[in-house]
Chain A
């Protein structure tokens, strides 16, 4: 079945540091890929998405590129801020219409001033 593997956390960085959170997936066909962010006590917010190979999703300075050859969708940001502290989830859904999301285990990110 489909699965997502994220780099283990927690990750602690200083403000303005470069961020990479690794995500790899296993899926049949051509899944859609997503990054969701969860702030303390809140629901999951869609951060960015990519629906086909070589697509780059971007939002709020975050980027991720759909790499089919390496089955990866790594999240990057050039300069993190304290407000980026949250839990980040990589997720995929099947390629056929509305399908359930399969999540990675989440990576807790803490940014220190």
Chain B
């Protein structure tokens, strides 16, 4: 079965640089979520989109922005990177009308040096 695809899998950036993470949801899933997981921590919700519109917003820094495109893929743009942004970034997708279960991609490991 098709899964959530994230790219790149690993990314190394320097402070103050920008990064773009991409997410391709499971076909026919209409909702995309982004989460940030620090080392040894639980995932923290950043932002979500339903039918290309932002549906909820969590603890996402103002330096970050995201959008969902007409083909339902989503991109998380991160600017003025800081050391503390080093983390695993997960994308998940779901189908509205389901039980609320989300299916996660393998994650992008971002390292800021």
Contacts and interface: CB of A to CB of B under 8 A. Distances in A.
Contact of B99 (A32, A89, A104): A32
Nearest to A89: B42
Contacts of A105: 41-42
Interface string A85-113: 00001000110011111111110000000
Interface residues of A, number: 23
A32 B100 CA distance: 7
Contacts of A100: 33, 45, 48, 56, 58
Interface stretch (A18-26, A45-53, A70-78): A45-53
A104 B50 contact: no
A98 B90 contact: no
B86 interface: no
B42 A103 contact: yes
